[in-house]
Structure 1
Amino acid sequence: MTESNRELVIVGVDATAFDALLEILAERKTVAPADLKLLAADAADADPQVFANRSIAVQVAKDFTFSEGQVVLLLNSDDTAREVLAAAEAAGAWVIDAAGITRGDESVALVHPLLNSAEVQSGERNVVALPVAGAAMVAEALYPLKSQLHSVEVVLNQPVSALGKSAVDSAAAQTARMFNGQEAEVDPTTGQRLAFNHLSSAEAILESGHSFGELALVHELRRLLGDELLLDATINTTSVFHGQLANISVTLKEAQPLDTVRGLLANGARLEMRERPSAEEAVGGENTLLGRLRQGLVSPRQVNFCAVSDNLRKDVAINCAQIVHLLLKIH
């Protein structure tokens, strides 16, 4: 039984995490099929979706009527999603931004359901932002050490799915062509080949030398872990479809025995210690896998480790479902 008959409205049936989200919502019985609404820019381009053994039609967003009794979840950051955000907020609905539309807007609470779910009501608006998948995973991995952190350097190896469904389709097509001995076409968005490649950056480089995604990752981690934390980040893109891996180097305020650090990480929420974790092990799971824990060679206060997770199921779909559940229950 669901705990509320309030409507859940999802915008982004073509988002990479959409299928995983529907699966999680059905497994957890978060919402009844009758109370689930799906929106797209043009319903003619979207087939009905199966949810809990029921067929759910996809409606046209511009024709949909929003109301105070709804929770609206945005999975895309396109013009349609931005229009929906404005219309839903004006109607008094709660909006969950899982696409980074409101990134940098301090009037919107940035909420990780495991770390600061009480912040849902702290924003000035009825809008809740979720951290992007990379920030969600790294924040979970660092949270048990939060009070002891002085500085953090993150090298995030993101999968092609982090760039969107079109990038996944492009990488799949390139892979097929290369297996058939044909020249792979360059991905039009990144300007580089995605298949059998490792990109130093999938985005344009800013004047600082960083990409926008790297600065956004730093910004979201500071909002979740504390503004005083010194942070730097690099985001590479690897030619795998799903599953992300981050190499993390932390400098602690004071040197700690490695066993103490291991114990703190092992007791963290949704964290699981492995000797040599891989993205393959993490895909399909609901935990962040941590491993390669070792003392740094630069400073006695330095500790290095890696974190891997399923970027779609765990860091987007499950986090979305938990915030949806919270809003349907208390608002």
Structure 2
Amino acid sequence: MTESNRELVILGVGSAPFDALLEILEERNTVTPAQLKLVVGDEVEADPQVFANRSIAVTPLDEFTFSADQVLLLLSGGDTASAAVTKAEEAGAWVVDAAGISRGDDSVALIHPLLNAAALQTVERRVVAVPGAGAAMIAEALYPLKSQLKSVDVVLNQPVSALGKASVDAAAAQTARLFNGQEPEADEVTGQRLAFNHLSSAEALLESGHSVSELALVLELRRLLGESIAFDATINTASVFHGQLANLSAQLENPVELSKVRGLLTNGARLEMRERPSAQDAVGSENTLVGRLRSGLLGPAWVNFCAASDNLRKDVAINCVQIVHLLLKTH
């Protein structure tokens, strides 16, 4: 089967990263319009989508037939995604889960294209997962220090788009109402106001006080960086549409001069040093911005710094496209 005969099937039309993904696919010529297929749940109605100046039809899942020469990319979860995975696996297709439906399944390899793409050669199943946007960014930022990390405390400030397209629309509507002197309705997903607010948690808390997303972030970081590293994580939601920023407090195995840490971060893949990174600066960039590097006050082996990135374009769309490219080209 030649690469030109391979197809990319996307489930997740209208999801938060969908538009960015189509832009990257077109910019990098990863697939042609003829190679792109779009599917939706049987109960969903979706208009044709434009890709590379061509109209791409959207097909209900129950009318779509998978084959072994395809890669299925999941951008949205739920029962439809689970059904699509079953059909794709039965047909021998590859599945790339960017929706988190395989989280906790050890038979599904977690692949970050910059950090462990070689693992695609030895996976148990033809189903792989892409780390969440927060984990992808933080793992990149910490990777140059991986061999020296003992523990890391993460505070991730995620944007509204991390909650999904519905929350982006809700935040926009709330902003418009506030500017017009009207009281906005609470977001249905979080039960709170998203516009001009900063949420300590966007979801219900477990008995431990953590959220499911925080524990998932810890799990993914340990899978990417090593089970011996201790992690704790806090995820709050900032009142911005796109762009994420994490404050990282890392305890190293031994004290290291700050100049050496700076050198390691400066040479890290897809890392760009800035004096004061911001989420706004990161939007549109294909790099993770790192900065505010300083010695921690908890002890001589602690270092603090922050990382910022474009959560949709860079940490979902580009990572997905890189993995899809590898699968279409060599698998």
What does residue 70 of structure 2 align with? 70
Instruction: Determine helix, strand or coil for the equivalent of 2:293.
Output: strand
Instruction: Determine helix, strand or coil for the equivalent of 1:4.
Output: helix
Shift of 1:283: 0.2
What does residue 26 of structure 2 align with? 26
1:175-217 CA deviation, whole Å, 9 max, x = no partner? 1100100001001111111111000000100011100000000
Shift of 1:3: 4.8
Normalized against structure 1, the TM-score is what? 0.98
Distance in 2, matches of 1:81 and 1:260, equals: 45
Shift of 1:124: 1.7
Distance in 2, matches of 1:119 and 1:21, equals: 23
Answering whether residue 219 of structure 2 is matched by residue 224 of structure 1, we say no
What does residue 197 of structure 2 align with? 197
Answering whether residue 81 of structure 2 is matched by residue 93 of structure 1, we say no
Shift in alpha-carbon separation, 1:59–1:43, aligned structure 2, 3 A = farther
Answering whether residue 39 of structure 2 is matched by residue 39 of structure 1, we say yes
Shift of 1:5: 2.5
Shift of 1:43: 8.1
Which ranges in structure 1 are unaligned for 5 or more consecutive residues?
Answer: none
Structural mapping, 1:301-316, within 5 Å:
301-316=301-316
Distance in 2, matches of 1:289 and 1:181, equals: 37
The total of aligned residue pairs comes to: 330
1:123-146 CA deviation, whole Å, 9 max, x = no partner? 321101000000000000000000
Instruction: Check whether the contact 2:151–2:230 (CA below 8 A) recurs between aligned residues.
Output: yes
Say what the alpha-carbon RMSD is for the aligned residues: 1.1
Distance in 2, matches of 1:41 and 1:165, equals: 17
Instruction: Determine helix, strand or coil for the equivalent of 1:235.
Output: strand
Identical-pair percentage:
73
Structural mapping, 1:159-174, within 5 Å:
159-174=159-174
- Structure 1 runs (4+) deviating above 4 angstroms are none
Instruction: Determine helix, strand or coil for the equivalent of 1:67.
Output: coil
Instruction: Determine helix, strand or coil for the equivalent of 1:151.
Output: strand
Distance in 1, matches of 2:183 and 2:60, equals: 39
Distance in 2, matches of 1:4 and 1:135, equals: 33
What does residue 81 of structure 1 align with? 81
Instruction: Determine helix, strand or coil for the equivalent of 1:112.
Output: coil
What does residue 52 of structure 2 align with? 52
Distance in 1, matches of 2:161 and 2:42, equals: 23
What does residue 297 of structure 2 align with? 297
Shift of 1:14: 1.4
Does 211-220 or 72-81 show the bigger shift?
A: 72-81
Distance in 1, matches of 2:27 and 2:266, equals: 27
Distance in 1, matches of 2:299 and 2:123, equals: 39
Which ranges in structure 2 are unaligned for 5 or more consecutive residues?
Answer: none
Distance in 2, matches of 1:251 and 1:5, equals: 49
Answering whether residue 117 of structure 2 is matched by residue 109 of structure 1, we say no
Partner amino acid for 2:277? P
1:81-108 CA deviation, whole Å, 9 max, x = no partner? 1110111111110000001000010001
Instruction: Check whether the contact 2:5–2:69 (CA below 8 A) recurs between aligned residues.
Output: no
Instruction: Determine helix, strand or coil for the equivalent of 1:45.
Output: coil
What does residue 268 of structure 1 align with? 268
What does residue 154 of structure 1 align with? 154
Instruction: Determine helix, strand or coil for the equivalent of 1:265.
Output: helix
1:239-294 CA deviation, whole Å, 9 max, x = no partner? 10000000000000010110000000000000000000111110011000001000
Distance in 2, matches of 1:222 and 1:304, equals: 19
Shift of 1:225: 0.3
Partner amino acid for 1:165? K
Does 2-11 or 259-268 show the bigger shift?
A: 2-11
Does 128-137 or 79-88 show the bigger shift?
A: 79-88
Instruction: Check whether the contact 1:43–1:59 (CA below 8 A) recurs between aligned residues.
Output: no
Instruction: Check whether the contact 1:3–1:30 (CA below 8 A) recurs between aligned residues.
Output: no
Distance in 2, matches of 1:137 and 1:294, equals: 19
What does residue 135 of structure 2 align with? 135
Distance in 1, matches of 2:116 and 2:285, equals: 22
Distance in 2, matches of 1:328 and 1:287, equals: 24
Distance in 2, matches of 1:42 and 1:160, equals: 28
Distance in 1, matches of 2:57 and 2:5, equals: 18
What does residue 12 of structure 2 align with? 12
Distance in 1, matches of 2:182 and 2:203, equals: 26
Instruction: Determine helix, strand or coil for the equivalent of 2:4.
Output: coil
Normalized against structure 2, the TM-score is what? 0.98
